[in-house]
Chain A
Amino acid sequence: MKELKAFFTKSPTGGIFLALILVCVLFSSMTSRFLTTTNLSVILNQVSVNAILAFGVTFVIIAGGIDLSLGSLVAVCGVVVALLSQNNEYSLWIAIIGTLVAGLALGALNGIIVVLTKVPPFIVTLGTMTIGRGIALILSKGRPISDLNESLNFLGNGDLFGIPIPILFLVLSYGTCHVLLTKTVFGRYVKAIGGNEMASYVAGVRVNRIKLYVYMISGLFAALAGILLTARINTGQPNAGLGFELDAIAAVIIGGTSTRGGKGTITGTLLGVLFIGVINNGLDLINVSAYWQQVIMGGIIILAVVLDGLYQKLKMNI
């Protein structure tokens, strides 16, 4: 009991965890179709792409930056993996590795521009967002790419030991990012730069290098998300991923990562992703129209952040 209280009052993710439980209880009481193994698995499967994007961009946001190009990177990488796995020309491995390298390179482009030009990352990635969308259209000649390798389809729709592959990727990404952020020297530097860039530089942190790396991580996870998305729909869509960056960033912020940088957790991001996913799913189940869902979703995002602010204040007095 004591530990439970400590979790809710001390842990930075206590607030969002509480909120997640509340909406789950709410939906379970409204419909019996919510709390079933199948439905929970559906939710996890649905949120996997957003989760993977959100994990990657969490690093960027903690380091005090932002990456708006995510959705476009998903499209470019989705098209790249489709092209590489069309007509069984290359093996699946080559297609995947090639796409991940493309994601890293595009992320590095963001990072290099941010570091060299000192232009605010909001502007830089707004630019590369448009560039990326253009590249996706050029590579695909504006048309969906189909006739993909069978084994790619397996990545999107298959399962291993009964667990859908996208969920496995979600879990794997979560673990990797969590360890990277909390246990490694790199993770500590990311937080330090977001907390006080000048002080980190003076303390000997290679600020530019770390900044470059966070955008590369964001690009890498965008590539992974692109692969999973293309695999799931079995086509490379140049218009895929529209607005994905906003969902991912919303999840990160709901998860308690400060937009000013310096603090945040991967667990928080995961909870934020689940929170958004559960609400979307629950509203579907209770037959709220898709139009109203958007209105409700937006309101909930603002409410979640407001409540979290109040909760943090409250915590100070406990």
Chain B
Amino acid sequence: MAMQDCLLKIKGISLEFSGTPILKLVNLSLNQGEIHALVGENGAGKSSLFKCILGIISPSQGEIIFLNESLSGYSIREILRKGIAMIHQELMLIPELTVAENIFLGRESMPGKRMGLREINQATTDLFQEYDLDIPVGAFVKDLSIAHQQIIEIMRSVSQKARLILMDEPTSSLTEKEITFFKQLIFRLKSEGISIVFTSHKMDEVFGFSDKISVLRDGEMVGTFSKEEVNPMSLVQKMVGREMKDFYPKAISEVGESILSVDDLSCVPHFEHVNFTLCVGEVLGLSGLVGAGRSDIGQVLFGIKKKTSGQMFLKGQVYNPENPSDALRAGFGYLGEDRKEMGIIPEMNITENMSLGLLDAGYRKLCFIDDEKENSDAMDMQGRLSVHSAKEGQRIQNLSGGNQQKVLFGRILLNNPEVLILDEPTRGIDVMSKFEIYTLILSLKKQGKAILLISSDLPELLAMSDRVIVISKGKQMAEMTREEASPEQVLAYALH
């Protein structure tokens, strides 16, 4: 390999945080125009590695060489100017500014030239034309979809002449269609000689996008592989360090009689005329693009949104929850789409987060909290769901995504619900936790819970569900059994 082809070389970097090793002698090298996937469980050290490259934290030993120059001692600003950019999971745009203003933010007056609004708009239009992007440069960022916002961040890096773009789970909030576009865009960047390192938990992207794949496990680099050397199964094994027989666990259990039926349910403008029944011991999958109305169906069932017409029946009785408390009392459990927004109370510990839904009904003595019962129930649940925490009383915000999600499952299960609505139960969590959650869902199904599973992860949805309903633009397009449903077919209906 010629020397000038090598863009980035990480030589044996180690990092410690208050005594705990985060990265151990990590090596990585990257060529120009290479797309490199960085995989590993949450907590394996992926984000720490990114932070080291960007100069946000400095490693305790080792060296990072970018374009034949060591980056040690440079500030974040200087490193950015050398051509390294990062696209964070939470986008860093200013919603109240326009697309063009965001792209040139902080660079309106460069030495020697000042860019007025007209120049900025023109430069952005030229840039977008070059990349065949159809986004109005004068639109406010707040009015754009997440996918477009992400593209704008990428374009900002491109306009800053970035040679290397680091992306932290870039596709986690994109729909299938948007991911296809995203893929075209990064291949375009590659052809311009820009290198990309991205993290992802989705195997089809890891294999679909990248030239090379590096695996981190517990802060150590397991190795860098070409696509031909590994397959999804062997890659997962390398990530978790042990063998997993089948990624989606299987369990055969009987589906019982109907418990919930939804009759011509509408919640304008989100969805209209939805009909289905859900049975005891059944997993019913709800598929569709983000924004198609699937999450809204779950929210109406749980009393978060109000229906506009139609009816719901629970065990033959009319069911019409005014708010989530009604739904909880009726025997519903709900896991929201966005853990941070609708799930965790960040400052509270595991126990407090678990018991929150049941304080009134289960842990109240007069107006006081029954500590003993609360703690013992929460500890039991924590053991049952194998929630891993470093120390007792740890705040939930310091847990990994997978463990946070397990705590939220604990909150639901303490209430002993009959019907569970699970909206994206495995979004943004590591492979091992995903596997545990699948196993949990199947055991709940076996216990006779009725489960409505909403997911953007099509392989997951098809593997877990007994039946699948496809929603597109608020309309029910199809209902299929597991045997009838193929990914192509479901996607065809979803894109309809």
Contact = CB atoms under 8 A, between A and B. Distances in A.
B345 A202 contact: no
Contact of A185 (B302, B345, B348, B369): B369
Interface stretch (B88-96, B234-242, B273-281, B355-363): B355-363
A196 interface: yes
Contacts of A198: 341-342
A11 to B, nearest CB: 13
Interface string A175-205: 0000000011110110110011011111111
B348 A195 contact: yes
Contacts of B459: none
A262 B346 contact: yes
B360 A185 contact: yes
A189 B345 CA distance: 11
A206 B322 CA distance: 12
A185 B356 contact: no
Interface in B336-395: 336, 341-348, 352, 356-357, 359-360, 363-364, 367-369
* Interface range for A: 20 to 34
A317 interface: yes
B377 to A, nearest CB: 15
Contacts of A186: 367
Nearest to B363: A185
A192 B356 contact: yes
Contacts of A263: 347
A204 B367 contact: no
A192 B343 CA distance: 11
A36 to B, nearest CB: 40
B60 to A, nearest CB: 15
A196 B325 contact: no
Contacts of A205: 325, 356
B328 interface: yes
A199 B367 contact: no
B18 interface: yes
A20 to B, nearest CB: 24
A201 B324 contact: yes
Contacts of A200: 345, 356
A205 B342 CA distance: 12
Contacts of B123: none
A195 B369 CA distance: 19
B304 interface: yes
Contacts of A184: 367-369
B345 A262 contact: yes
A206 B323 CA distance: 9
A205 to B, nearest CB: 7
Nearest to A207: B323
A196 B347 CA distance: 9
Contacts of B304: 201-202
B334 interface: yes
Contacts of B341: 196, 198-199
Given A198-B342, A206-B325, A185 B347 contact: no
A186 B359 CA distance: 9
B201 interface: no
Contact of A203 (B18, B357, B367, B368): B357
B36 interface: no
Contact of B364 (A185, A195, A196, A317): A185
B467 interface: no
Nearest to A201: B324
A263 B346 CA distance: 10
Contacts of B324: 201-204
A257 to B, nearest CB: 12
A195 B356 CA distance: 12
Interface string A193-227: 00110111111111000000000000000000000
A202 B367 CA distance: 22
A203 B358 CA distance: 9
Q: Which of A199, A201, A203 has the most CB of B within 10 A?
A: A203
A183 B344 contact: no
Contacts of B323: 201, 206
A12 B414 CA distance: 30
B344 A204 contact: no
B411 A183 contact: no
Contact of B356 (A183, A203, A262, A316): A203
Contacts of A195: 345-348
B368 A196 contact: no
Nearest to B393: A10
A199 B342 contact: yes
Contact of A188 (B325, B343, B352): B352
Nearest to B411: A203
B346 A185 contact: no
A262 B342 contact: no
Contacts of B18: 316-317
Contacts of A203: 324, 356-357, 411
Contact of A199 (B328, B344, B359, B369): B344
B413 to A, nearest CB: 13
Given A184-B369, A188-B369, A202-B304, A196 B328 contact: no
Nearest to B328: A204
Contact of A189 (B334, B346, B359): B359
B359 A202 contact: no
Contacts of A191: 345, 347-348
A174 to B, nearest CB: 18
A203 B360 CA distance: 11
Contacts of A206: 323, 325
Nearest to A196: B345
A310 to B, nearest CB: 17
A195 B348 CA distance: 8
Contacts of B356: 188, 192, 200, 203-205
Interface string B298-332: 00001010000000000000000001110010000
Contacts of B360: 185, 204
A198 B348 CA distance: 15
13 contacts: A184-B369, A185-B359, A185-B363, A185-B368, A188-B352, A199-B343, A200-B356, A202-B302, A202-B334, A205-B356, A206-B325, A262-B347, A316-B18
Interface of A: 183-186, 188-189, 191-192, 195-196, 198-206, 262-263, 316-317
What 5 pairs across the A-B complex have the smallest Cβ distances?
A195-B345, A203-B357, A204-B328, A204-B325, A203-B356
Given A202-B302, A204-B360, 20 more contacts: A185-B360, A185-B363, A185-B367, A188-B356, A191-B348, A192-B352, A195-B346, A195-B347, A196-B341, A198-B341, A199-B343, A199-B345, A200-B356, A201-B304, A202-B304, A202-B343, A203-B356, A204-B357, A205-B356, A262-B346
